[in-house]
Structures are given as C-alpha cells and as structure tokens.
Structure 1
Amino acid sequence: MRDTNAGPGLVVVDGRQLTFTLEQHWRSPTSAPTVNTQVDVALDASGQVLAVTPVPESVLAKEKLDKMKDGMNDLKDEYLPKLMVRVDQVGKPLLIAVALLAIAWIWLPAVSINISASIVQNLTMFDLLRLANVSSSLEGMMQSGTGSSGLYGFLCVVAMIAPLAHVFVADKRAAFGLFAPLAFLVLTGLGIYLKIRNLTSAASESMRGFGGSQMGDFAGAMMKQALAAFSVGYGSYIALIVALYLAWRGVQKVLAAR
C-alpha cells in the first residue's frame, strides 16, 4: 500500500492498483495510512474502493502464528517419521544413555572445590579437560580459565558418540565403541591424577631447593591440604554409571557377534 502524503493512496487488490483518499475511504480513527500496511479493502459492485481498513496487529500476529504452526506441521509430517525410524534403529535406552552421558560431561559438576565453608566452585568434565590441556603448573590447575580443551576435548566428543557407531557402521568391531566412555573416564582420570601428582612433587622439590627440607615439607603439607578441598561431583558418578551400562551392553554385543 502507498500512503496518502502525496495525493491519493494506492492499494493493490487481486493484482489491480486502486486509489483511495484519507477523508473518503480510510477507516481508522487511531492511525494514518503508511507504506506496506496490511489492509482490508471493501469494493462496490463496479469494483471501486468503498473503504480501506487497517488489519489489527492482533490479527496479523495470529496469522503469523498460524503460518508458523503450518510450517511446523509440515516439518513434522515430513521429518518426524524419518526421525522415529532412526530412533527405533538406535533404540531408546541407548539414546537416553548417550544423552545422559553428554549432559553429565558438559553441564554437571565432575569435581567440586570447597574454597570456604560457604563457597564451592564446580568444574564440569570439559572444565577439567581444558585446565589439564592449558596448564603446565599446579597454580594453573587450581584456577578456572578460558582455554581450549584441545585433544582432550576431541577425545571426549569421540567417546560420547562412539557408542552409536555399531548402529550405523556394518562392522563387528564398531561394537567396541560402547567401551569408549568407560575407557575415556579411566584413562582421563588417571592422566589428570598423575599430572597433579607430578606438579605437586615438582612444587615441593622447588621449595625444598629454595628453603631446605623444612620448606619442602611445609610446601608438601600445603599442597595436600589444597588437594583435600577437591571432591568428586555427582556428574562424575552419573557418567560412571552410564559408562558401566554402555560397557555392559558392549560385552553383550561382542559376545553375541561371536
């Protein structure tokens, strides 16, 4: 629609351009004609404009919502059957297990650090992997950063999706992907433990060289007290339970393939 600022307004009805005036045809006491306004046009028997009424915002919003619903229904009709076929192919228990594993590693606390009686800092699995990847000192391991998880993060993602491999790969060895989460937990936990132990020993030795054996023993005691503030978060327990379940399914799958 063209407004009436420079003469008669212009509307398009069924491909025809019709003119109207503000005084004679416009039917809105609260708004003036503006370009591209959605309007209802009443015509007489000869096809000339009788009235031009702007469509209320509530009606336009409802029409947009209806179009969105129609689009969603079309997507549902087209893709939902395909999705359900995939779900049946994978199996709901396996999908739920993988989803729980992803939630536990990405969002739930893997480790809690008791900074004080009222302050607790939670670290997810990806937080731990990021710290382990970027930190070369014990101080760095004790602080949260914004670095990349690097190879650790890549292996974590691989371990999350590996249990689905046997569904899509026609190879008996793909069933060993069900053991990937448990293997990742064990190897990563052992790796982080050894790294913290080595960094602690190096810090104690450095203090011992600086101030003698007493300073080294004091530093060692301080390190032990700091590490005692760490506790396993419930996210780690959930991830371990899921990993054990997936490994049990892996044993069944491997034995059945023999």
Structure 2
Amino acid sequence: MKKRGKVLRDTSAGPGLLMVEGQQYSFSLEGVWRSEVAPKPGMVVEVELDTGGRIMAISAVAESQLAKEQAEVALAAAKQKGAALASTMVARFGMPALVGAGLLIVGWFFLSTVSINTPLGSLDFTFWQILGFLNAKNAFEMLGQGGRSGPSAGFYGFLALVSIVGPFVHHFWKDRRAMLGGLLPLLFMAGVALAIRSSINNALGPAGTSANMREYAEQAREEAMKMISIGFGAYLSLLASIYFAGVAAKQFLVAKATDNPEQQSRKLAA
C-alpha cells in the first residue's frame, strides 16, 4: 500500500529517516529510492509498504503535484463555504429575489442595453456605461464617439447600487415603507431613460425661433432616435425591475391592510 510521508533526515551521513502517519521509518537509497533527485529534509515522498510494514519503494512527489493537490483542497473548501453561504442567502431572501437580482446585475453590467447604428458599424453600450456618459457633461457626443474615454458612473453609479440593494432593505429595516425599496430599480431605469432623451434633445440644441429652425431640430431629433436601438440587456433588466416592483407593491398593500384593522382596534379600545 502507498502512503504519503516526509523526509526527516537525508542519507548523506547514514540511513535516512521518514515520517509516515506519525511513525518513523529508516531507509537507504539502495533498492528503494525511485526518484532521480536525492532525498532532502522536508521533501514530501510517496512510500510503498508491504503487508509487514517494510518499505518497498520511495518516490519524491513533484512540486507541481503538491500544488495541484493543495489547489483542489482549497477549491473544495471554497465550494463548501460557498454552498453554505448560498443556502443561508436563499433561506433569508428567497430564491426568486436572488435570481431577480442576478438578472438585474447581468442586464446592467454585462449585456448591451443600447446600440447606436453608425455608418462605421454598431456601437454597443451596457447600462453601466450609459450611466458614465450621463454623469459626463457631453453625454450624447461621447456616445456618438463610441465612449472611448470611459467616463465614471459617479453619482449615477451610486444610485444604481442603491437600486440593486433596494428590494432587500425590508429584510433589515422592519418598517412597511422599506418594502417600497423594490420599486427603486424600475424608477431608476425610468429616470435614466428620461435623462438620455433629455441629453439627446440638449445636444441637438434648442428648437429656435423660426419655423424652419424648429422643423430642422425636430428632424434631427427623429434621425438621432432612429440611430438608437434597445439591446437585450435593457429588456432583461426591465423584466427583473417589473418583478421587484410588483412584489414590493403587493407586500406593501398586504402589510397596510394588515396594519389597518390593528390600528382601528386600538382606537376602539382607547
């Protein structure tokens, strides 16, 4: 049978010494050492023992093999801790809410929300990138240029993170108004859509005083809107936001209906 051990003493000044599962074994190189490298203290080895406990063969374990085994142990421990954390989160928040938050994050951070069709091709932007453009002064111009400067989302990014956390606030704040936090993702997306439209209108300039100028500005706005198409990320995150808004409204109305009879009974008792 094969077991793992460690070299305590090499064979440079006599028999070597191994430690295998708390037992010490003396060994010599002749007849049992199977590796090309000489043994040295601290080396991890694989020891083959016969039924009587005598050493039949000793082989050094490669560093790459040890690193692989340590990585596998660390991965198994991480999986175990991750599974425990996931089960705790599911028990506290519920699987539908966690799935909805995951879809919202994917839709906002990874999938295309808006595409701008230009003569040179289509430019795709995530919701998070759009927040960066809105946070900049010249949002529409930067979108048209492809957003090469990569502006920071700034305050809009902070509002986005608050909106993601919003549906879970009522788990920590035991006030029925906290249930309305589920409305935040939908309200935030609506606000961003209005901000984008306003940015486009501002970028194209005021309509002017003459009829010709107003007509020209209106045509320019229509052409700009035709260049913009909605991506899958927008629909996915909108679906998740509608789900959170529906659940929040239902929970708030149920809590309100439950509280009203209690308040009326207290008034009658008083």
1:183 to 174, 177, 187: 187
CA RMSD of aligned residues (A): 4.2
Q: 2:162 & 2:107 partners in 1: Cα distance? A: 15
Residue equivalent to 1:210 = none
Change over 3 Å in CA distance of 1:51–1:130 after alignment to 2: same
Farther-moved stretch of structure 1 (13-22 vs 105-114) = 13-22
When normalised by structure 1's length, the TM-score is 0.73
Residue equivalent to 1:198 = 202
Change over 3 Å in CA distance of 1:197–1:89 after alignment to 2: same
Q: 2:127 & 2:60 partners in 1: Cα distance? A: 56
Q: 1:70 & 1:242 partners in 2: Cα distance? A: 33
Structure 1 counterpart SS, 2:112? coil
Q: 2:143 & 2:64 partners in 1: Cα distance? A: 56
Q: Which amino acid aligns with 1:236?
A: A
Residues 10 and 17, structure 1, Cα contact 8 Å, conserved in 2: no
Residue equivalent to 1:106 = 109
> Does the alignment pair 1:53 with 2:56?
no
Change over 3 Å in CA distance of 1:13–1:108 after alignment to 2: same
> Does the alignment pair 1:92 with 2:95?
yes
Per-residue deviation, residues 29-81 of structure 1 (Å, max 9, x unmatched): x622254432245799xx998754334789757854764476357637xx62x
Q: Which has the higher strand share?
A: 2
Change over 3 Å in CA distance of 1:192–1:34 after alignment to 2: farther
Q: 1:9 & 1:228 partners in 2: Cα distance? A: 85
> Does the alignment pair 1:153 with 2:151?
no
Q: 1:65 & 1:133 partners in 2: Cα distance? A: 43
Residues 42 and 51, structure 1, Cα contact 8 Å, conserved in 2: yes
Q: Which amino acid aligns with 1:107?
A: F
Give the percent of matched residue pairs that are identical in Structure 1 and Structure 2: 27
Q: 2:61 & 2:140 partners in 1: Cα distance? A: 67
Residue equivalent to 1:75 = 81
Residues 185 and 241, structure 2, Cα contact 8 Å, conserved in 1: yes
Q: 1:108 & 1:75 partners in 2: Cα distance? A: 29
Structure 1 counterpart SS, 2:186? helix
- Which ranges in structure 1 are unaligned for 5 or more consecutive residues? 206-212
Deviation at 1:158, TM superposition (A): 0.7
Residue equivalent to 2:124 = 122
Residue equivalent to 1:243 = 241
When normalised by structure 2's length, the TM-score is 0.70
Q: 1:229 & 1:18 partners in 2: Cα distance? A: 79
Aligned positions of 1:33-44 closer than 5 A: 33=38, 35=40, 36-41=42-47
Q: 2:80 & 2:142 partners in 1: Cα distance? A: 52
1:233 to 226, 231, 234: 231
2:174 to 170, 173, 184: 170
Q: Which amino acid aligns with 1:197?
A: N
Residues 135 and 141, structure 1, Cα contact 8 Å, conserved in 2: no
Q: 2:72 & 2:240 partners in 1: Cα distance? A: 42
